[in-house]
Structure formats: C-alpha cells, structure tokens
Structure 1
Amino acid sequence: MIPIDPVERHLFFEGILIKYGYDFRQYAEASLDRRLAYILGKKGSTSLLDLLKDVLGKPEEFRSILSQLTINTTEFFRDPHFFKTLRETVIPILKTYPHIVIWSAGCSTGEEVLSLAILLQEENLLKRTTIYATDINQNVLKTAKEGIYEASCIPLFNKNYSMAGGSKAPSDYYSADYGLVRFNRDLLENVVFSEHNLATDSAFVECQLILCRNVFIYFSRELQNRALELFCQSLAHKGFLAIGPKETLRFSPKANSFSSVHEGSNIFSFNERFKK
C-alpha cells in the first residue's frame, strides 16, 4: 500500500473542506489512508498534493473520487436477524403512532431503505410513514432514488428477505428485465432523499426511528459523538436508534441517554430526560 504522509493528508482534506464543504477530517485515519492509497494507485501517483491540485481545479475530478472516499458497502436486508428483531420489537410500538418519521442516515445506494419500506408495507405502516434517506454522496443517492439494481443481487435478496421474516414471495417487490431489477415504485413514494453530512450538518427532523448502521466504524470517536448528539436532537421521547453489529455507544458521553431494546441487535431506546 502506498504510504500516506499525515501532513499531506491533513492538507488534502483541509483543501476539500474549504473548496467543497465536505469534512473528512474526523473520519478514522486508517480507513482514510486505505482509500487514499487506492485512489493514488489507480492514478499512478504517490503525491496527495498533486491530487489536491487536480481536485481543486477540476470539480469533476472531486466528484469522481468522492464515491471512493465514502464507503458504500450494503445489501438488501443486511443482517437479517436485525430486521427480524426490528419487526418483532420496534414495529409494534411504531404502530401506536398516527404518523411515523424514520431517518436512514448514510443510506448509500438505497438497499436498506427499500428493505425497511418492504417491512413497513407488510406491517401496513408504509402509507403513514415518511422516511428521510440521507447520504453525503450525491451519486449513491441517485441510485437509491431510481431503485434499479443489477439482477445479480436477487439471490441474496431472496435469502435475506426470508430470514428476516418476510411473509410474501420476494418477487412481489420487483420486476426483472435485461439483467436489471426495478423495485416497485410505491415502495419509495414516501421516501425523501437528501444530501446530508453528519460531520457538518445540523439536525433537521424529529423522528421515532433512526437507522445509522455500519457508519460509525469509519468515524473517529469525536465524530461518532457529534453524530450521536445529532441523533439525540432528532429523536422523539422513547424513539429508537439502530447501529451496526460491530458498533457501540459504550464510550460516548450520550450513552446514558439510551437503553438496549434487545441484546445483540444494537437497537436502543432514547430517554428524552437527557436531551439538551
């Protein structure tokens, strides 16, 4: 792997912040270095300062590397046990609300949003739910809005859907043609897609459920705490926060604001008494 000079890394991300408003300075350094080394290797370069010169002078160059600076690994019904637990423990409580607001933070290319929409439809909740799906990357948001994917994703979708407690034929939710699958448009009717940066942007909605799964692992402790503060500002009393299976709230100053809903699921209930 190409070694990354810490000074050059600092200058590179300071330049991006000033020019484009994207703040990567508090992302985990080891993860950033792997991505930067990959980008430099593809370009046949070893200098972040040369790359910075191109990025600052050519906005299209920045857009081309943005997707490589952010992690977009996802799949339909990822961690099926999580979705099964969500269905069994959280959905019954959400049913008590006349209108439900959900925030999917770091929604990537939309597989998790569609998985959530399918679950809500099966529980007769989708029509009275608004889902805010946000990500830092406009390119992945475009894919998420379209709801069109390579047909190669379907075997895993079918398997995960069944393991997550799905009650219908998986093929009820999509149509396939020419190597692509298009998910039913009604699944996305109540989804609002928007660019949002957890490192720099503010809270914008009050909601009963926030999903931010497999995002914290790429953040520094300081940025994790900032994001968690946003979630505390956004959650209604007794709302729910779901994070990834390898993530924890244990070391955050806000940890006492949450209580575990189900051991091993990383779904937490928010206590408004600690909200500031």
Structure 2
Amino acid sequence: MKTGSGIELTDQQIELLLGDLIDRYGYDFTDYSRASFKRRVTRLMDQDRFLSFAEFRFRLIDDASYLTRFVEQVTVNVTEMFRDPHFYRTLREQILPVLATWPMIRIWHAGCSTGEEVYSLAILLKEANLQHKAVQYATDINPSVLQTARAGIFPLSQMKQYSENYILSGGRADFSSYYTAQYSSAKFDESLGKRVVLATHNLVSDGTFNEFQLILCRNVMIYFDKALQDKAMRLFYDSLETLGYLALGSKETIKFTSMAHKYKQLEGRERIWRKIA
C-alpha cells in the first residue's frame, strides 16, 4: 500500500509495528483487521509527513508522547446506544435500584468513545428518577470523539436500531421523545448531557480522579496485554467505592487479573462485578 508520499507499507512492516506496540507500550492490536490497521497507519504517516517507514517507526518507539496521537488515529470507535440490550436491562433492573440507596451517584465511563453509551445511561437514570443526584464522568484518550459526545448529535439513520435496542432493554417511553430530528442527524435533549463531565484520560498513564459507585469500561481492554489489563484493573479498584460495580465488555473478564479475588461477579451472563474487599 502506497502512501501519498509514495511509501508502500508491507505486511512485514505492519507485523513489526504490532510487535513494537506490544513490546514497548503493552498495546495489543493483533486482533485488529490487518487491512484496516494498515489503512489507518498509512493515513497517519501521510498526515504527519513521514518520509519513510523507518522514520515513523523510530518516532513511535522513541517518543512516548506520540503514542497518544497514534492511538487516537488508529483505534476504531465502534459503539451504539443500548448496545447489548440485556446488559442495559440488568443495569435498569438490578444495578440502579442499589445505586439509588446512595445519597450521590458517581459513574465513570472509561473509554466512552463518541458517547452513545453515556446518553443511554442518562436515559436510564432519567427514567429511574435518579438523574438529579447522579454525575457521569465520560473519558477517552481521543479528544475528537469527546467533541461528538459533547454535542449529543448522532446519525438519524441509526435511530431505528437504537430504538429497538432501547425497547429490548426494558424501555417503555417513545424513544423519539429523547431527540429532535435535524435533517440527517438526531440531536439528543440537552438535559441528558447536563450532568455529564467530559475529559481526556489515558487508562495506561493517568491516575484515579474520584471515587465511583459504577465504572463502565466496555470493549476497551481487549486491546491491552495482561500487564496493561492489570494496571487498568488496579486503577478501577482504586477508583471504585466498596460494594460499587465494575462493568466490562462481553469478551472481557477480570478472572485472570490480580484483582479478581476482590470482586464477585453478578449471577447471569453479564460481565458485571461488585467490589467486595
């Protein structure tokens, strides 16, 4: 594949890059589609005007600060509202009633991407009459996706799917009452984002910044090797109040981490654990 500068990236170079990311930083992108990964690396090399793959590789290995830009450009921000509806039904029926017993509810979306899950939970909180005493902290390493989350504007073409997800999650309202159609976009009610704090945060290098009753980090750590997963789990443990909840993605687990014995998993198929120690 040739870049705008005429540089052609080989499969061998991509494998070298994948190995560098694991060895130097602990980021594991080996499950990414190779074609997609190569396209994104190529585009980044064009944007930042590298003259050779060797120059690009040296910069990535030698300059830890450049990793942030690399991850911003290469990560695939795939998300949707009420993704995995049964997960949201569990939040609605089992988790929120417990959180309601706290005088103040602090929730952290770690790796929030463009914010669809943040708005999904805002709707759950509103319907449970808990929005007035809940604050959602939504963080991501990529500042550009946070701009989308802040605007609360999503493609109108997705609303049919989101409405179906919402109903499967136990929602009973008219989903369209939560947004206003504007040409090809849907703008969600500003009241849903009123108690949302958005900020950049790197799970690999940044520390804890509050004590939460619920932390959601779904489909983020599948790109971390075991050492980084352990580091993130320690961060979540330090950030979670005793008896608080940690929710991960459907392919993620804390079972093999150093923190496993400090949690108890909820019964059922959902990847939700409660901090017990």
- Relative to the length of structure 2, the TM-score reads 0.84
Q: How far apart are the structure 1 equivalents of 2:167 and 2:214? A: 23
- Give the superposition deviation at 1:51: 3.5
2:197 matched residue in structure 1: 192
In the TM superposition, 1:1-276 aligns within 5 A as 2-4=11-13, 25-31=25-31, 34=34, 36-42=37-43, 48-51=53-56, 66-271=71-276, 273=277
RMSD: 2.8
Match of 2:205, as an amino acid? T
Is the 8 Å Cα contact of residues 103 and 209 (structure 1) preserved in structure 2?
yes
Query: 1:7/1:189 Cα in 2 relative to 1: closer, same or farther (>3 Å)?
Result: same
Query: 1:163/1:50 Cα in 2 relative to 1: closer, same or farther (>3 Å)?
Result: same
Secondary structure at the counterpart of residue 176 of structure 1 = strand
Is the 8 Å Cα contact of residues 134 and 196 (structure 1) preserved in structure 2?
yes
Is the 8 Å Cα contact of residues 18 and 30 (structure 2) preserved in structure 1?
no
Q: How far apart are the structure 1 equivalents of 2:220 and 2:247? A: 11
Match of 1:228, as an amino acid? M
- Give the superposition deviation at 1:33: 8.4
Q: How far apart are the structure 2 equivalents of 1:5 and 1:64? A: 18
The number of aligned residues is: 259
Is the 8 Å Cα contact of residues 136 and 195 (structure 2) preserved in structure 1?
yes
- Give the superposition deviation at 1:153: 1.1
Query: 1:153/1:119 Cα in 2 relative to 1: closer, same or farther (>3 Å)?
Result: same
- Give the superposition deviation at 1:49: 2.7
Secondary structure at the counterpart of residue 30 of structure 2 = helix
Query: 1:261/1:38 Cα in 2 relative to 1: closer, same or farther (>3 Å)?
Result: same
- Give the superposition deviation at 1:67: 3.6
Query: Any idea what the Cα deviations from partners look like across 1:140-171, whole Å, max 9, x if unmatched?
Result: 00100000111111111111000001120001
Secondary structure at the counterpart of residue 262 of structure 1 = coil
2:6 matched residue in structure 1: none
Match of 2:153, as an amino acid? I
Is the 8 Å Cα contact of residues 107 and 137 (structure 2) preserved in structure 1?
yes
| Residue segments in structure 2 that go unaligned for 5+ positions in a row | 1-9
2:4 matched residue in structure 1: none
Is the 8 Å Cα contact of residues 17 and 57 (structure 2) preserved in structure 1?
no
Is the 8 Å Cα contact of residues 14 and 38 (structure 2) preserved in structure 1?
no
Q: How far apart are the structure 1 equivalents of 2:107 and 2:147? A: 20
Is the 8 Å Cα contact of residues 27 and 223 (structure 2) preserved in structure 1?
yes
Q: How far apart are the structure 2 equivalents of 1:239 and 1:267? A: 10
- Give the superposition deviation at 1:216: 1.3
Secondary structure at the counterpart of residue 130 of structure 1 = strand
Query: Identity of paired residues, percent?
Result: 40
- Give the superposition deviation at 1:236: 0.5
Is the 8 Å Cα contact of residues 150 and 180 (structure 1) preserved in structure 2?
yes
Query: Any idea what the Cα deviations from partners look like across 1:178-228, whole Å, max 9, x if unmatched?
Result: 111100000000000000000000011101000001111111111111000
Q: How far apart are the structure 1 equivalents of 2:240 and 2:167? A: 30
